[in-house]
Amino acid sequence: MKPVLEVEDLSQNFGGLRALNDLSLHVDTSEIVALIGPNGAGKTTFFNCVTGIYTPTEGRVYLYDANGERQLLNGRKPHAITALGMARTFQNIRLFNQMTVLENVMVGRHCRTRAGILGALGRGPRTRREEQESIDLSYALLESVNLQDLWNETAHNLAYGAQRRLEIARALATEPRMLLLDEPAAGMNPQETRELETLVRGIRASREISILLIEHDMSMVMSLSDRIYVMEYGSCIAQGTPEEVRGDPRVIKAYLGESDA
């Protein structure tokens, strides 16, 4: 399989703290990969390095673009990385709470539209056509996450699970090849988690998107993932299929501890 994301020997220091230590991983085309580990293992720091929020201290991050060319992400701004084909959601939901559900998704279209300030002011045929296309695409994305009936609702009025789905729809609006989900099931009840799992599978199947997720719900991770990387104290301690990782003594020790007896 062809890779979409490659990370080589990634390290991140914050003063005297080494939050990531020589971490390497890859995600292939249409693959669902999970990144797991105890709280404080460095998972979200890893996402922040990959998406341009942090500049890694060491190592390299590559994203393969739509033409199959390997693009170095180090030093690029988050919006430039998004334009190359990577999108993410956040552990703490970050919606535009006073905007409508449809408007939130349309914001994600910004990196794929061409109308500038003059076009917006002049409202010529090209600008109007592009705006209508953005509306149509955004509404279709709401249909894909079952939020179409709430298109004109203010985002902060949505139930928690619906807000999670809206954030995913907004990320999909950027037309990513690589989607990063940071604890998408956090705070969800079992029914919402099952629906989310079905949604993620559907996204992969219908859009051929590669997905890397951080998640603490081990039942979801084991049933959804093709491969799993396990982190502890900023380093990768295990990797493999769900079956391989489930029985790895290092993983059991990281999650359950080890008796002194």
Domains of the chain plus CATH, in order, are: 1-85+176-261 (3.40.50.300), 94-174 (no CATH)
52 to each of 86, 106, 141, how far by Cα in Å? 10, 22, 25
DSSP-derived pairing of the beta strands 86-88 and 178-182: parallel
Using CA atoms, how far apart are residues 31 and 1, in angstroms rounded to an integer? 9
Residue recorded with tokens 């693009």 = 71
Tens place of pLDDT per residue across the chain (261 aa): 789 999 999 999 999 999 999 999 999 999 999 999 998 999 999 999 999 999 999 999 999 988 889 999 999 999 999 999 999 999 888 899 999 999 999 999 987 776 655 455 456 677 778 789 999 999 999 999 999 999 999 999 999 999 999 999 999 999 999 999 999 999 899 999 999 999 999 999 998 899 999 999 999 999 999 999 999 999 999 999 999 998 898 888 877 565 444
Using CA atoms, how far apart are residues 173 and 171, in angstroms rounded to an integer? 5
Provide the pLDDT for residue 47. Answer: 97
Provide the pLDDT for residue 257. Answer: 61
Provide the pLDDT for residue 118. Answer: 47
Residues facing residue 181 across a β-bridge:
213
The one-letter amino acid code at 229 reads Y
- State the DSSP code for 148: G
- Sign of the torsion angle spanned by Cα atoms 197, 159, 89, 115: positive
- State the DSSP code for 54: S
Provide the pLDDT for residue 113. Answer: 74
DSSP-derived pairing of the beta strands 3-14 and 70-72: unpaired
Provide the pLDDT for residue 119. Answer: 54
Cα 246–198–255 angle (5° rounding)?
25
Provide the pLDDT for residue 260. Answer: 45
132 to each of 5, 69, 225, how far by Cα in Å? 33, 32, 37
